[in-house]
Chain A
């Protein structure tokens, strides 16, 4: 009797119901609704006007959006080129068994991730300030020819953002790499060493292939995270709602936020959101295909 109740055709649905309900309410329906919104202009969710493909057509010619896309791509490329090697370099350093104080350094490099993004943004705004900022004041003190009014945050917007993000994230990804490095079989490295492979050859031919799955995951995280960059420019350039001087800090998500939540046009914001989704899905598919090709 008990057994037949548990094996009724509804039982699987009963167990699936919590997931299906939450998935439907919080993912599927919002996705469908946002797709519908992409064809509307809104003044909040209550007042809407169907505009057909006008949002999508405007997307193609919107110079603000393309500025945002350009900035986001630059940031993403810099993140890939700088964050991943920096994180891997730190991990390789901390993986050395002969290094003293490894735990201490691990904590030091990871600590920016603990303090959080808001703190990092505020700290960098202090450090990069004209005249009174730590960097300008120190450089002027060391080299009197250095201009104490050097406009880091005004004229070097993207480098400032990249630097802040690097400081924040390198230690975080380092932990992933460190875990992967500790799983590299020692006997493989020893065998390579006995065969006469140098340090670089051991890294390139043994370590790197072994940690490649983690590297792929980190690459995916860095790229998707960079494409979704919002909070750092928003906090650093709060007076311009994250746009920065001459829109140099404007990213796709910042523009989406400004459009949807500052101008109240959820329709156009949805169109931007879908464009971003397609780009990220496209990247994930390409990356997955490349990873599989390498594996095979």
Chain B
């Protein structure tokens, strides 16, 4: 025994002892079984609203109470995918943001970790009651895997104080050409350095998300309804060529105050950008971020690409899915309906975040007609709802993030081409836009064709 003790120094024995004791202690810690259901969400406002609804639910259903957990987006994504990939514990219900869903749909459709809701929605006649385009990001290979939380139509938020002070009547604006022509006098050089200190639209060649917003508004698309890539359609080339003329050269009218970036709020305050692409959630965020700017912003439908064209687009989105791992699918479904379909949720969602519900039955609620003092007493809820049916359909392809980046690369290269060749008119840029899109299409097709699981499900 003594010789055994002498094998290691006393310090080493202490470390070893501590390791053994702590391992035993951890192993003996009681694991509290989850009573009822868990719901994970990544957004504080969503969690707050779900919490209110869960309180009511828990009173009525004490045997299947719901516990709402707020988890940061990245952690939620990792835990969710680990659960789906490797059967580690996941919640019964998970709210998933649009950028997270592609990965869930990358494998065989039978292995998607969420319950297929298609039959339930049809059986209970719920599909017709929900804004149809809102299902598209949560649908893969004909199967719907989530209840849509929102619509996120996009309007144009503009600095009404500056626009009205200049005597510009925005009611005359129908197209983007009208918008830039009428507002051009606002692109001022305020510090006398010969460069404008104000731009008319918050977008730039590196604005990853806005290219898609504008493309979809103009009738372009990244994928068709079967999630086949359609990057190189001629309409896309024309739209991108036009966008390039906004971003560079003597015709430049757009620059970016990167939303989420460190300087965005300061630039928005200074009026660096007069107009911003504003989905409903953004309209809600700005109210909270700069309350002292109340009355200096207004919203209007997006100017169309052509006369009579679409006046909105879409940006962002969330769904609620029921995980296959959960033991109580029917209770989870009942809670999901209570949470997402109720007028109470719709009211709270609009009140807290200005997000409008995709549930058509709630569109007539009076709170959507209340004037919003931050936006010059405009009835912005009603304005967003009126645009909801026009929201374009979006893909759910697992290759969507890659395609979005390819689109951004095309815009960046097109602007570089325009600068190198001093070509700043649409007809001159269309052939190069088409060439770059053809190249991007070939790249994304090669990636998709490599996916054995998607091939097998086709």
Contacts and interface: CB of A to CB of B under 8 A. Distances in A.
Interface of A: 2, 6, 41, 43-47, 49, 51, 54, 58, 61-64, 125-126, 129-133, 140, 144-145, 147-149, 151, 154, 239-241, 243, 245-247, 262-265, 268
10 contacts: A6-B3, A46-B86, A46-B87, A62-B446, A131-B272, A151-B206, A154-B206, A240-B405, A264-B106, A264-B398
A125 B263 CA distance: 10
B27 interface: no
Contacts, number: 101
B193 interface: yes
Interface in B255-306: 255-256, 260-263, 266-267, 272
B85 A46 contact: yes
Given A246-B413, A264-B107, A241 B208 contact: no
Given A47-B107, A154-B206, A241-B401, A126 B262 contact: yes
Given A46-B86, A149-B195, A264-B398, 11 more contacts: A43-B85, A129-B262, A129-B263, A132-B267, A144-B193, A148-B195, A239-B208, A245-B409, A263-B106, A263-B402, A268-B450
Range of interface residues on B (Cβ < 8 Å) = 35 or more
Contacts of B85: 43-47, 264
B206 A265 contact: no
A43 B204 contact: no
B111 interface: yes
Contact of B412 (A129, A130, A245): A245
Contacts of A132: 262-263, 266-267
A140 B103 CA distance: 44
A46 B262 CA distance: 40
A41 B401 contact: no
B261 A129 contact: yes
B373 to A, nearest CB: 29
A145 B3 CA distance: 81
A151 B193 CA distance: 17
B106 A265 contact: yes
A62 B447 CA distance: 9
Contacts of B111: 43, 46-47
B263 A131 contact: yes
Interface string B199-223: 0000011101000000000000000
A61 to B, nearest CB: 7
Contact of B452 (A51, A246, A263): A51
B451 interface: yes
B408 interface: yes
Given A2-B3, A132-B266, A264-B81, A245 B108 contact: no
A123 to B, nearest CB: 11
Given A241-B401, A246-B409, A41 B193 contact: no
B176 interface: no
Contacts of A125: 262
B395 to A, nearest CB: 15
A133 B258 CA distance: 13
B193 A43 contact: no
A47 B453 contact: yes
A131 B456 CA distance: 50
A61 B405 contact: no
B201 to A, nearest CB: 15
A252 to B, nearest CB: 17
A7 to B, nearest CB: 13
B228 interface: no
A154 B272 contact: no
Given A47-B453, A132-B262, A147-B195, A245 B267 contact: no
B103 A262 contact: yes
B103 A263 contact: yes
